């Protein structure tokens, strides 16, 4: 019974912060089970926050907050660089370790990337980091 509780906690933590989930998995479970649990959690988070991000963007897009539409905020240079260069790969690579999964997905959605492209890059990133982390742990 306690294993299922541990597995559920690793998955739930990995939904939001992948690196903390991998840390728990490295400590408490085998490398193969840890990779599986954190990947399932990360994938669930990516699906949830990507579709949720598009839904939130659509909902807030219909609202008008400013009374003066001519006033626009200037976005940061990093945000503009990412948008102009189409660097979803950089966002996806940084999402599991540096950013959290919700922040990375919302950032990718806000830069108007395709849903399937976001999912593909995020899944590749989760796979890469999982193999790297658990592979190093297994062989050391």
Among 11-15, 72-76, 84-88, 118-122, the least confident range: 72-76
Could you tell me if 113 and 83 are in contact, meaning their C-beta atoms sit under 8 angstroms apart? Answer: no
Give a yes or no: residue 6 inside a domain. yes
**Domain-located, residue 66:** no
Give dist(CA 123, CA 37) in Å, integer: 14
10 Å Cβ neighbour count for 89? Answer: 12
List pLDDT tens digits, range 117-128.
899 999 999 999
Domain that residue 26 falls in? 2-60+74-139
**Is 53 domain-assigned?**
yes
pLDDT at 89: 87
Q: What's the pLDDT tens digit per position in 45-72? A: 999 999 887 787 777 766 555 555 555 5
Could you tell me if residue 65 is inside a domain? no
Dihedral angle sign, alpha carbons of residues 33, 35, 26, 137: positive
Count of structural domains, the chain: 1
Overall pTM > 0.85: no
Q: Is residue 68 part of a domain?
A: no
Residue given tokens 């994938």 in the structure block: 43
């Amino acid at each position: 019974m306690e294993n299922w509780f541990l597995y559920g906690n690793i998955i739930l933590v990995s939904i939001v912060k992948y690196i903390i989930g991998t840390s728990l998995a490295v400590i408490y479970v085998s490398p193969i089970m840890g990779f599986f649990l954190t990947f399932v959690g990360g994938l669930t988070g990516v699906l949830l926050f990507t579709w949720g991000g598009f839904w939130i963007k659509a909902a807030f897009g219909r609202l008008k907050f400013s009374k003066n539409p001519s006033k626009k905020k200037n976005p940061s240079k990093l945000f503009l660089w990412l948008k102009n260069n189409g660097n979803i790969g950089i966002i996806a690579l940084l999402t599991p370790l540096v950013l959290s999964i919700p922040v990375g997905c919302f950032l990718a959605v806000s830069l108007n990337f395709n849903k399937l492209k976001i999912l593909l890059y995020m899944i590749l990133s989760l796979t890469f980091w999982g193999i790297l982390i658990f592979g190093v742990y297994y062989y050391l």
